[in-house]
Structure 1
Amino acid sequence: MNNKFMQKFIEIAGHIGSQRHLVAIRDGFVAIMPLVIVGSLATLVNSFPPFGKFNFVEWMNGLFGDGNWQQVGGSIWNGTFAVLGLLIAFSIAYNLAKSYNVDGLSAGLISGAAYIMLVPITGDGGLSMAWLGTQGLFVAIVIALVLTELFRILVNSKMTIKMPEGVPDGVARSFTALIPATFILILVGLFQALMSVFADISIFEFIFNVIQKPLQGLGNTLPAAMVVAFLNHILWFFGLHGTNIIGSVIEPIYLPLIENNLELFQNGMSAFDVPNVVTKPFLDSFVFMGGSGTTIALLIAIFIVVRNERKHPYREVAKLSAPAGLFNINEPVIFGLPIVLNPIMLIPFILVPVTLTVISYVALATGIVPRTVAILPWTTPPILSGYLVTGGSWRGIALQVVNLTVAVLLYIPFVMAGVRALKQRMEG
């Protein structure tokens, strides 16, 4: 651990994890996640597949009329996934501005207004819904970061209106933001005018075709999924929150992929036929069971290996960690066993999730298991999550059981080695 390369790696990863703009992107996506989950569950309910002889959709149609009850879920979709780009433009700008201790609400509103200004107009004069959602995510990120930086510079300059003392804070903040907002929105308007005169496509179409679409195509591959799994766990091994550090990078790539699956599933396509294999629910439900490292399998392996030693330290840690582990909260075992900087656990902690990524990808890509069509709260326990993310299929549960079995078998030899090493230290 004193190796200079390792020290440098930890230092660089720490800087990346605390980089202001990446943190703002991560926190921006985290802030809208409740809306994403609600929109996903609404779609799942609207298109829930038959369970044996019971057909939920037909039953609801019999109660409320064909399609009438589905309007509720459709409205939820319109307020969540359909405007995801707009929500992200506000959320990231708000978080970035707050990190600079400038008015986050004003920054978010300016970013949202600029986003709408750039959205292509339809033939009847409305906003194109195609670009208000996930297809506009990268534009939303760029707008939020660039305009918030400009807003910060202008607010910290003398180009503001200072209100006298005694004026309510809300009024004072609005006047402080007035000149910066005017300047920024004029710039955005000029940019939009120039794009319409000299280019045949909007900034949304340009960025989607040049950046977002290629990245999504790359992200929906097995090698990319394996790299994500590897980086996440190597960072955790060094005590860095791998999920948070790489979250700001993978969210803009994987969220549109699951949104595409969701939309097609909502329109009647089978979960077997939706196009995207690798999504965030793919990783959460089939790889990160019990949390990063599939540590619920590690807990099971510990209970198997030290089943006859009631007061063994490993068993005590496992007993304390198990309740949280069922809901994918695994900090107790990561820092309590520990896994962090534990050379015995390094290999299985990385090997298990990478192996499960390969198994899960093959299972979904070949059609053995339906692909993911729902986003769930990350605390959803395994088995239930496997059933729901695959659109209500028992095959999702079966894949989780297979993955857990493989993970337990891979962990057992290393748990045995850890137990022996601990015994030697205690006897020495």
Structure 2
Amino acid sequence: MSEKKENGFVQNTLIPLAGKMAASRHLVALRDGFALVMPLIIIGSVFMIVSQFPIPAYINWMSSVFGPNWATVVGWATNATFNIIGMVACIGISYQLAKSYDGVDALSASIISLGAFLLTIPLTTDKAGNTFVPLTMLGSMGLFEALLVGLFITDFYVWMIHKNWQFHMPDTVPPAVGNAFSALIPGFVIIALVWLLRIGIGFTFFKTIPNIITVILAKPLTAVGGTIWGALVAEFFVSFLWLFGIHGANVVGGIMAPIWLGQMGQNAAAVKANKPIPNVVSQQFFDNFVHAGGSGETISLALMMLFFAKSANLKAIGRLAGAPAIFNINEPIMFGLPIVLNPVMAIPFIVVPLVTVIITYVSMKTGIVARTMGIAVPWTTPPIISGWLATGHISGAVLQLVNFVVGGAIWYPFFKIADRQALKQEKEIADKEAAAKN
């Protein structure tokens, strides 16, 4: 297929289809709801770099100045940002969706959705008998529940409001009080149903609502283990989940970690015994080569936006996403461009890491590149450095560079499409403003 035909397919078929999807009520609510977490993600990224900057001299200096627990103290800010994005997304999605309907108080709908979301999360009890909500489940690990609750619970709430399942207060009652009473019946029905659902799932082998996705994903992923096919399947799920705002690396990593960490340990034991390294696929295979620059290897895209974008919007996102991408943090670009819920950007976001898996696996399997030695290189270590440290050989750094070039070549035409679209929108806005002034 010629370049002209490819561009024609993208411009005439793919982009109009994506436009129709993006204009749907629910996708707009997801997009705008996720936008609410952007400040938290950017602020959290800065504190994450501060707490995990991969230079021993820096870590030693921080420990000498602020004490041995300085990273934990910095982590308080990370907990206050990254670890509540699921909860904030639930509120934002529900609010934006409810706002799109007539006759519905969006704030009341979002509060009821928040209560339903918290009800899906299993509580944890410590040794002292204190019960609390795990903070991690309010963050990226809880985004799946947040997405479902924000959409389905809100639609159910709206349906009940439109069916007039509500208390009507006199017109003399302040609107805030009236809205609160209107939410009583729908809110009670929703909380009661979610409560019964949680009890019912407790009698199944799933035990908890968040376990459902884990169990569903666990069987296909564990069946293929540490093979190249397992790596491809696992990486597909990482990218696929991210496209819906779910931290795919966390979800899949939670399932595959025992396999990948076990293979990492075998590699480390072989190096210690001066034996050949047995495994290609390990935790470092993903952390330092497939996810270098973040899931989807978006560092190439971030640098293109920073240095080559013509639109002001993409340049601004590039400035925000460039520095975190160097330390393998790509949430700013995931939610800022966005890649999440973006049908066009979904194509390279899935294809690039799969190609990277194949290149990395073949290179290490054939001996062209040294295999990872089982050293737990911090995941925030910048690419090139991390490749050298993980393999103990310069070939690891070269392989990362090759992956960036190949990934960048795949990302480039989609970057150009996004840049042209953003530039066109900016010009239209500028023309409208100029016409309004005249």
Q: TM-score per shorter chain, which class?
A: 0.5 to 0.7
Structure 1 unpaired stretches of 5+ = 230-245, 264-271, 300-317, 330-349, 375-383, 416-428
Task: Give the corresponding residue for 1:99.
Answer: 100
1:57 and 1:82 mapped to 2: Cα distance?
Answer: 24
Per the normalisation by structure 1, the TM-score is 0.58
Task: Give the corresponding residue for 2:248.
Answer: 254
Task: Give the corresponding residue for 2:155.
Answer: 149
Q: Which residue of 155, 163, 166 maps to 1:160?
A: 166
Q: CA deviation at 1:210?
A: 1.3
Q: What's the CA shift string for 1:39-90, capped at 9, x where partnerless?
A: 3332321222216xxx1121122112211x3333222232233344333322
Q: Which residue of 281, 284, 302 maps to 2:294?
A: 281
Q: CA RMSD in A?
A: 5.4
**1:34-73 correspondence runs (5 A):** 34-50=39-55, 55-67=57-69, 69-73=70-74
Instruction: Say if 1:279 and 1:372, in contact at 8 Å, map to a contact too.
Output: no
Q: Any idea what SS the aligned residue of 2:21 has?
A: helix
2:353 and 2:230 mapped to 1: Cα distance?
Answer: 16
Q: Which residue of 94, 116, 119 maps to 1:117?
A: 119
Instruction: Say if 1:119 and 1:128, in contact at 8 Å, map to a contact too.
Output: yes
Q: Any idea what SS the aligned residue of 1:288 has?
A: helix
CA 1:45–1:184 in structure 2 vs 1: closer, same or farther (change >3 Å)? same
Instruction: Say if 1:28 and 1:92, in contact at 8 Å, map to a contact too.
Output: yes
Instruction: Say if 2:168 and 2:182, in contact at 8 Å, map to a contact too.
Output: yes
Letter in 2 for 1:64: F
Instruction: Say if 1:93 and 1:145, in contact at 8 Å, map to a contact too.
Output: yes
Letter in 2 for 1:256: N
Letter in 2 for 1:150: F
Instruction: Say if 2:91 and 2:110, in contact at 8 Å, map to a contact too.
Output: yes
Q: Which residue of 105, 118, 141 maps to 1:135?
A: 141
Per the normalisation by structure 2, the TM-score is 0.57
CA 1:47–1:7 in structure 2 vs 1: closer, same or farther (change >3 Å)? closer
**1:194-213 correspondence runs (5 A):** 194-197=200-203, 201-211=207-217
CA 1:166–1:256 in structure 2 vs 1: closer, same or farther (change >3 Å)? farther
Q: Any idea what SS the aligned residue of 1:172 has?
A: helix
Q: CA deviation at 1:150?
A: 0.7
Q: Which residue of 174, 177, 180 maps to 2:180?
A: 174
Structure 2 unpaired stretches of 5+ = 258-282, 320-346, 365-370, 417-438
Q: What's the CA shift string for 1:320-345, capped at 9, x where partnerless?
A: 6699648639xxxxxxxxxxxxxxxx
- Is structure 2 residue 28 aligned with structure 1 residue 23? yes
Please say which of residues 30-39 and 127-136 is displaced more in the overlay. 127-136
Instruction: Say if 1:160 and 1:175, in contact at 8 Å, map to a contact too.
Output: yes
Letter in 1 for 2:24: Q
CA 1:100–1:352 in structure 2 vs 1: closer, same or farther (change >3 Å)? closer
Identical residues among aligned pairs (%): 28
2:165 and 2:237 mapped to 1: Cα distance?
Answer: 46
CA 1:407–1:120 in structure 2 vs 1: closer, same or farther (change >3 Å)? closer
- Is structure 2 residue 191 aligned with structure 1 residue 191? no
Q: What's the CA shift string for 1:163-199, capped at 9, x where partnerless?
A: 3334333222222212211121111222223233455
Letter in 1 for 2:196: L
Q: CA deviation at 1:23?
A: 2.7
CA 1:278–1:50 in structure 2 vs 1: closer, same or farther (change >3 Å)? closer
Task: Give the corresponding residue for 1:239.
Answer: none
2:52 and 2:216 mapped to 1: Cα distance?
Answer: 33
1:326 and 1:86 mapped to 2: Cα distance?
Answer: 27
CA 1:5–1:71 in structure 2 vs 1: closer, same or farther (change >3 Å)? closer
Q: May I ask how many residue pairs the two structures share in their alignment?
A: 333
Q: CA deviation at 1:397?
A: 12
Q: CA deviation at 1:120?
A: 1.5
Task: Give the corresponding residue for 1:88.
Answer: 89
Q: CA deviation at 1:126?
A: 1.8
Instruction: Say if 1:159 and 1:180, in contact at 8 Å, map to a contact too.
Output: yes
Structure with more contact order per residue of length (Cα contacts < 8 Å, sep ≥ 6): 1
Task: Give the corresponding residue for 2:110.
Answer: 108
Instruction: Say if 1:287 and 1:353, in contact at 8 Å, map to a contact too.
Output: no
CA 1:371–1:138 in structure 2 vs 1: closer, same or farther (change >3 Å)? farther
Instruction: Say if 1:219 and 1:225, in contact at 8 Å, map to a contact too.
Output: no
2:285 and 2:50 mapped to 1: Cα distance?
Answer: 17
Letter in 1 for 2:27: L
2:34 and 2:229 mapped to 1: Cα distance?
Answer: 18
Q: Any idea what SS the aligned residue of 2:318 has?
A: coil
2:10 and 2:66 mapped to 1: Cα distance?
Answer: 65
